[in-house]
Structure 1
Amino acid sequence: MVSTYLDYSRITRDLRSSLNRVAQQPQIAREAQYYRENIDRVKTVDAFLDDYRLYSYAMKAHGLEDMTYAKAFMRKVLESDLKDDNSFANRLTDERYRNFAQAFNFSSATAVAQTSAQQDALIGLYNDRINDLDTVMRQEMAYFGAAMDLVTDVDQFLGNEKLRSFAFTVFGLNPKTFSYTEVRNALTSDPATLTANQTAAKTRLTEASKQLTDLGARDTALAQIVSLTAQLAAAPDADKPAIQTKIDEQNAIVTDLDARLPPRDQAPALKTQLSLEVNTLARQISSLDIYIQLASTFNFNADGSVPAGEKAISDEKKALLNEAYVFLRPGVTPSGAARLTGAGALLNKEYYEQKIGSITKVSDLIADNRLLNYIITAFGLPSATTMPSTVENILTSDINDPESYVNKYGGEYNAAYKKMLAAFNLQTDGTLPAGKTAQDADQMKTTSDGYMVRYNDKSDAEDEALVKRFKLLIGTMKSVDELLANNDMKKFMLRAFGLDNEDLSSRTLKRILTSDLNDPRSYANTLRDERYVKLVKAFNFNPDGTLGAPKLAQSEADIMNTAKAYVIAKSRFGTDEEKKVAKVKAQEEAKYYTAEIEKIETLDAFLANRRLVDFVLVGSGIDPGTVKTEYLKDMFTSNLDDPKSFINTDPNGLKYRGIVASFNFDTDGKIVRGEAGQIQTRRGLITTVDLYLNQSLEESEGADNGGVRLALYFKRKAPEINTAYDILAETALFQVIKTAYSMPEGLQNAKIEAQAAYIERVVNIKDLQDPGKLEKLLQRFTALYDVENNTDVSPGLAILSGSGGGGVSAETLLSLSQLRAGGR
């Protein structure tokens, strides 16, 4: 028989070729093909467990062949939530079960309207847009002021969309439905002429409305006559006189109306005509209100030109427009009211400080709503329930009188009542003392400071409530139709992307949200507006409107697994204190990775963030300093299923298959969305197939020589070994160390701590992560294996095949199991 050392060296000299040889064996190739072709069809644990070929293939791949019969047990493993430390799989001391559950997605719903990252991004956009309103508004006002000074004719003004939009916002004109001709005519008309036209329209509206009312009254009277006549015929003689009187009254009404109205046969057509005319006149009058304001604000001649030596709008009118724009600009609160920005608050402050000096009695103060609302806000009183009379009672209280209003009322707002009273100098009769003003400089400052702090409290509270409601409801959405049917949700997302003024129908929004952004011909892409692309990216809807899997660079399960691998890699060695410190730092880095990887949209974006790349490499046991970005790109753009691709021909490609498979990039570097309900990610599939090949290689090569199988198994499991107890926990791993270092037989029956101490003396566990040092250990093992085992059936083969009695004693294994269980 060829020596164990030579057999092992032959196999590992080109491990890829050895694995390819196994993969080409008919039985293994058939099973792999069946697994690849059918695993995506499985949607439930029951379907998986019922397909013996799939189930047994996966069990063998993960080294759990001997547990294939235990379906009830494995169901609990597969249904475990790996994010929960107390879940069934996480409580088992054998990591194989956790790894098995990790290869599937049965415990998590991959179809979700938004991931936490998408939700945070959307809410962030909403908040940013609110925060930017003031800046944007100031920019628009500055542009309007400067650009209007350059306007020389009306068409130049109306042809500039930004100028037109600014003015239309103030005057309430719809920029999408306005009549260019009507607006131009208004701007070049004399306001007096427009006023006269409006007066004529109002007169005609009154006449038409009166005639329409009379026609209706005649119809009502005629109907009454018919009804009363029927009653008269059926009524007792005693009641007939009263009914006849009513009929006579209705006949008199009809006679009077007939004299003033067109013949009855013309009434239906006339009513239709009048109804149309009334509606048209009402719209015309409303438009004329706007047109009169336009003509009065802007300065254009009848031919559309700006008068010589003048501007299209005076500085005074410009200032008035700016103020109106601040209070009217689209930027509404969740309740639908106009949102007050910093610019608006400053205008209110300026108005207050200009007006308060002229106030001489409390009635003047509360009669001005702008002043009243200012002080109510400044002192933090509830605007909805604080009446003018409340403010009057506060400001006319005597602070020294225990029975006065400010000392008896207010409840939780009593302190605010007293602060408001202290900020004014009014007497109990509501007037000012001689020589006093309503507020001195310090009192005015107190009031204004309070206002500037509190002016947006209500809007902020509404925003906070809206965000909270959005977070609560988005998790309940099962389709795009449900999302669009909820007006609050729809308004929230549209505001976030600056689309709230685009008049988008639900049908159009559905077409946008169900677009495939990888298809340049999809609806969202054809709109050529980045806002729509961002909107699509914020949600996960399939083309039919149902929930889809998140379009992430990594699935949520793979993100969690990558993060865990990194934390383990960074905190696996050192003293207890060193490991504790390292673990805390690693967990912080894992938070960064978890948050940032969900924002990655392309392979190039991922590779450009070396912090993310290094995180993945460290978690996979690869030194980032030895890996160049271009090399990684070649790996990621390889076809994992093509034996001739770079990743499958490069000498180190085997180390990168799991990494590449854990990401959802296609060969072009774009993210490919997984199928909703898919129970195994690409990483899970590749890992399962690769593990199956490794198991098959170890099994076939070790059929005649158990030492080869032991060495191959140890080589595969070495990256997962963190302590001496991990070696003691698996008989096969322990057999390699025992043989390689000629461990005394008597030590097998010693206490578990003594055995661990021995292993730690002869093996530096950290060296097992070094490929060169690991290879030397396995060369030592394979050389000594033949010396120690001169039997036809080696102990190594017996261990891995589950037969024979060699290895760690049952008592030792029991002690180890209890030790590991207690340490979790």
Structure 2
Amino acid sequence: MVSTYLSYDLVTRDLSASLKRVSNQSTVSREAEYYKENIGKVTSVDEFLDDYRLYSYAMKAHGLEDMTYAKAFMRKVLESDLSDDNSFANLVADDRYRDFATAFNFSSAEKTAQSSTQVGAMVDLYTETMVSQGDNVTTETNYFNAMMDEVGGVDDVLNNNRLRDYLLTSYGIDQRYYSRSLIRGVLSSDTSDSSSYINQTLGPQRDDLNAKLSDANTRLDAATTDNEKKAIKAEIAGYDASLATIQKYYDMADAFQFNADGSAPSTGAQTADQKATVNSLYVSQQERVSTATALADATYFEQKIATVDNVSDIIADTRLYKFIKTAYGLTGATVVSSTIEQILTSDLNDPTSYANTFGKSRPEYLKLAQAFNFNTDGTVAVGSAQTAAQTEATKNLYYNTYDDVQDKADEKAISLYKAAISEIDTVDEFLAKSDVYSFALKAVGIDPDEVSKFTISQVLKSDLEDKKSYVYGLKDERYLTLAKAFNFGKDGNVTVPLTAQSQGTITSIASDYTVMKTRFLDKDATTKAKEDAKAEVSYYSEKMLSIQTASEFINDDRLTNIVLTAYGIDPGTVDKNFLKQVFSSDLGDPNSFVNKQENSVWAEILGTFNFDARGNLTDDFNNGTQSRGKIIETQNKYTRQTLEEEQGETNNGVRLALYFERMAPTMTSAYDMLSDSALLEFFRVSFQLPDSFSNLDVDKQAELVKKYMNLEDLKDPDKVGKMVDKFTVMYDLQNGEASSSALSILTSTSSSIGISADLLTSLAQK
């Protein structure tokens, strides 16, 4: 009979060739092809369990063939949340069940409008956009002021998108519907010249409206019924609105000094005061109070407060009134104009005055009263409403508080968005949820009022893999950013988020990395190693959800180190150029770089990523129950299991040797050796220990394992090879014939490799 050593050597001398021979066997290749073609069609655990060929193939691949009958048990394994240490699969002592669960995406392929990472990115983008909008006010104002010194005429303003937009925004004119000829005529008008364009065009309209308004007021005085008065008041409101619009154009004309032909005079298109007027209007039109707005408001306050001679001047000036309320934290709905008036007219020497009375519970009232110098009748000498020091103090208070309200509003908007987005399952629901819809559009810089919901619907349903899809036709990065931020399919329903790796794979790699970093360490060292590993896997778990290209991954040493370590590869032996060749390979091409590697682990690693051969994120592989890498890994494991079984038919010692060689990289302690009957037999035979060895206390057994075998050597393939060589020799010495207890150890359902029916029942009831 051929010796165990020689038989083993014949198999492993060219292991890849031996495995290829097995994989080419008709039964093996047929089952592998069926698995590859059909596993991607499975959408649920029940579908998987009901397809016996798929289910049994995977079970054999993971060394669980003897448990194929236990479908109820395996369903609980597959449905486990692997990120939860207390989930079913993680609580089962045998790691093969956890490994089996990590090979699939049943528990992690959750369809959602946005993943937690996408929600976080949207919130960050919203914050950045809000800040950017504030900065943009300053940028656009500086641009407007600089360019107005250079323009040669009205047409230069209207032909420049930025100048025109600034002008129209300042005067509250809808940029979608403005009349160029009207604006040109207004800007070229002198309002004091009766023959100017504005007086010839809008003057008659204004006169007509004033006449109608006067008539309406007369009729209102004479009206006797409530309905009649209500109708006339509505009519008056319409006239007032139309007159306000016309006045807006007169104000615009007064803010420029273009000649009647539209040319700019030698003194320039605007004076400094005229620029300041337009700047102030532009700032006032902003939805948010930016730094530029705050500075402008403070300047306005400082200028106006010097002209105030009565409290009524503040109450009547909306901008002044708002400034003071904001500065002193009096923006609540209960603080009305009469409240401010009573505070400012309080006699601080009178303990019963309004400010002193209510200042006990509202100290901000007293603080406001102390900041001004009004008499109890509201009067004061011009310029004496505040001293210079009081004005400066008020401005500083405003700078500290001007954005408090909008910051709180932002916090509320963010909180509402986070809560609501998880409940959205379709594009239609997204469009109908106004808070979510508005938040998302603002985050990418789109004004919700300036785009149709039809457009947004088509954007979100666009196929990002198809360059001819709707979103690309808009040629606007804002819409593309919006589309990428959500996970809606062509039908408008939510899909699984597209990430570099599935959540299941990320969890699996994180777990394997931790195991590899804590192998064979003593208790104290293990604690420290686990803390270090926790920090790394936390980084990996978060970062991998935002990686968009293979280059990003390859250039992040922390990420690559975690993946390589998890797969049992020393990161120090792999350079970036090699990784670049791996990630630029086409898994479907048998002649590609990755498929030419002797070690199939590189194909398994590449297959866990959703990158195409160009290194870009693609949705082509982001579906199904298993990633391409896990399919390859399952096929490789099945082939290896088959090879070991075939060798066991002629020499069970070879099967044990092959099994030990395969399991050595996964062992983390002496107890792994003791809990696996096949590995225990390998150890017992290697060191010629009696069968009664297993009767010892398990801790005593562990001590002997560590005494006879340096577990650190299991990290070194060469030393593992020497262990196997020793075993094959000792096996032949102990077994003078082909039969051995090894076969029963590897196939028996009663060994510790299997799980008893009683244990199954107990676990299933948990």
TM-score by length of 1: 0.83
Matches of residues 775-790 of structure 1 in structure 2 within 5 Å?
Answer: 775-790=721-736
Partner of 1:527: 474
Partner of 1:648: 595
Cα pair 1:601 1:671 within 8 Å, conserved: yes
Deviations 1:17-70 (A, max 9, x none): 222111111111121122222222222222222211111111111111111111
Partner of 2:56: 56
356, 365, 374: which is aligned to 1:417?
Answer: 365
Q: Distance in 2 between matches of 1:440 and 1:743?
A: 99
Partner of 1:316: 273
In structure 1, give the amino acid aligned to 2:400: V
Compared CA separation, residues 485 and 344, structure 1 to 2 (3 A): same
Partner of 2:227: none
Deviations 1:695-730 (A, max 9, x none): 111111222111111121122222211111111111
Cα pair 2:465 2:619 within 8 Å, conserved: no
Partner of 1:740: 686
Partner of 1:339: 288
Structure 2 residue 610 is matched with structure 1 residue 664: yes
Deviations 1:596-629 (A, max 9, x none): 2222212222222233222211222212221122
300, 313, 316: which is aligned to 1:351?
Answer: 300
- Which region of structure 1 is more displaced relative to structure 2, 468-477 or 597-606? 597-606
Partner of 1:583: 530
Q: Distance in 2 between matches of 1:630 and 1:693?
A: 30
Cα pair 1:43 1:677 within 8 Å, conserved: no
Cα deviation, residue 410, structure 1: 6.7
Compared CA separation, residues 562 and 21, structure 1 to 2 (3 A): same
Partner of 2:202: 198
Cα deviation, residue 365, structure 1: 4.2
Cα pair 1:111 1:676 within 8 Å, conserved: no
Cα deviation, residue 560, structure 1: 1.7
Cα pair 1:111 1:677 within 8 Å, conserved: no
- Which region of structure 1 is more displaced relative to structure 2, 387-396 or 137-146? 387-396
Q: Distance in 2 between matches of 1:800 and 1:384?
A: 78
What SS does the aligned partner of 2:151 have?
coil
Structure 2 residue 44 is matched with structure 1 residue 44: yes
Partner of 1:247: none
Structure 2 residue 77 is matched with structure 1 residue 77: yes
Q: Distance in 1 between matches of 2:327 and 2:564?
A: 56
Q: Distance in 1 between matches of 2:699 and 2:743?
A: 27
Q: When the two structures are aligned, how many residues end up with a matched partner?
A: 734
- Which region of structure 1 is more displaced relative to structure 2, 573-582 or 673-682? 673-682
Matches of residues 200-239 of structure 1 in structure 2 within 5 Å?
Answer: 200-202=204-206
In structure 2, give the amino acid aligned to 1:613: T
Structure 2 residue 339 is matched with structure 1 residue 390: yes
Cα pair 1:377 1:383 within 8 Å, conserved: no
Q: Distance in 1 between matches of 2:279 and 2:678?
A: 81
Cα deviation, residue 441, structure 1: 4.9
Compared CA separation, residues 320 and 501, structure 1 to 2 (3 A): farther
Compared CA separation, residues 356 and 42, structure 1 to 2 (3 A): same
Q: Distance in 2 between matches of 1:344 and 1:502?
A: 22
Matches of residues 630-649 of structure 1 in structure 2 within 5 Å?
Answer: 630-649=577-596
Cα pair 1:170 1:325 within 8 Å, conserved: yes
Aligned-residue RMSD, C-alpha: 3.2
Matches of residues 681-720 of structure 1 in structure 2 within 5 Å?
Answer: 681-720=627-666
Partner of 1:179: 179
Partner of 2:445: 498
Partner of 2:285: 328
Partner of 1:18: 18
Cα deviation, residue 399, structure 1: 6.1
Q: Distance in 2 between matches of 1:609 and 1:520?
A: 29
Unaligned runs of 5+ in 2: 216-237
Partner of 2:88: 88
Partner of 1:602: 549
Partner of 1:128: 128
Cα deviation, residue 431, structure 1: 5.9
Matches of residues 411-450 of structure 1 in structure 2 within 5 Å?
Answer: 414-426=362-374, 437-450=384-397
Cα pair 1:134 1:343 within 8 Å, conserved: yes
Cα pair 2:610 2:621 within 8 Å, conserved: no
Compared CA separation, residues 650 and 674, structure 1 to 2 (3 A): closer
Cα deviation, residue 739, structure 1: 1.8
Cα pair 2:134 2:288 within 8 Å, conserved: no
- Which region of structure 1 is more displaced relative to structure 2, 608-617 or 359-368? 359-368
TM-score by length of 2: 0.89
Cα deviation, residue 471, structure 1: 0.9
What SS does the aligned partner of 2:173 have?
coil
Cα pair 1:548 1:675 within 8 Å, conserved: no
Partner of 2:251: 293
Structure 2 residue 570 is matched with structure 1 residue 626: no
Cα pair 1:547 1:676 within 8 Å, conserved: no
In structure 1, give the amino acid aligned to 2:639: L
Q: Distance in 2 between matches of 1:761 and 1:185?
A: 99
Cα deviation, residue 109, structure 1: 4.1
In structure 1, give the amino acid aligned to 2:204: A
Cα deviation, residue 401, structure 1: 6.1
Compared CA separation, residues 86 and 401, structure 1 to 2 (3 A): farther
Q: Which is higher, the Rg of structure 1 or of structure 2?
A: 1
Compared CA separation, residues 120 and 296, structure 1 to 2 (3 A): same
Identity %: 43
Cα deviation, residue 783, structure 1: 2.0
In structure 2, give the amino acid aligned to 1:298: F
Cα deviation, residue 486, structure 1: 2.1
Compared CA separation, residues 466 and 410, structure 1 to 2 (3 A): farther
Deviations 1:187-224 (A, max 9, x none): 3344343234324235667999999xxxxxxxxxxxxx
Q: Distance in 1 between matches of 2:347 and 2:249?
A: 52
- Which region of structure 1 is more displaced relative to structure 2, 639-648 or 725-734? 639-648
Cα pair 1:706 1:798 within 8 Å, conserved: no
Structure 2 residue 113 is matched with structure 1 residue 113: yes
Q: Distance in 2 between matches of 1:286 and 1:348?
A: 23
What SS does the aligned partner of 1:702 have?
helix
Q: Distance in 2 between matches of 1:438 and 1:204?
A: 42
What SS does the aligned partner of 2:489 have?
coil
Compared CA separation, residues 538 and 722, structure 1 to 2 (3 A): same
Cα deviation, residue 567, structure 1: 2.4
756, 763, 769: which is aligned to 2:715?
Answer: 769
Cα deviation, residue 804, structure 1: 8.7
Q: Distance in 1 between matches of 2:750 and 2:282?
A: 88
In structure 1, give the amino acid aligned to 2:125: L
In structure 2, give the amino acid aligned to 1:299: Q
Q: Distance in 2 between matches of 1:208 and 1:12?
A: 103
Cα pair 1:111 1:549 within 8 Å, conserved: yes
What SS does the aligned partner of 2:600 have?
helix
In structure 2, give the amino acid aligned to 1:666: D
Q: Distance in 1 between matches of 2:437 and 2:254?
A: 39
Cα deviation, residue 526, structure 1: 2.9
Q: Distance in 2 between matches of 1:733 and 1:405?
A: 88
In structure 2, give the amino acid aligned to 1:75: R
Matches of residues 531-546 of structure 1 in structure 2 within 5 Å?
Answer: 531-546=478-493
In structure 2, give the amino acid aligned to 1:755: Q
What SS does the aligned partner of 2:114 have?
coil
252, 262, 287: which is aligned to 1:304?
Answer: 262
Deviations 1:565-601 (A, max 9, x none): 2222223343322222222222112222222222221
What SS does the aligned partner of 1:36 have?
helix
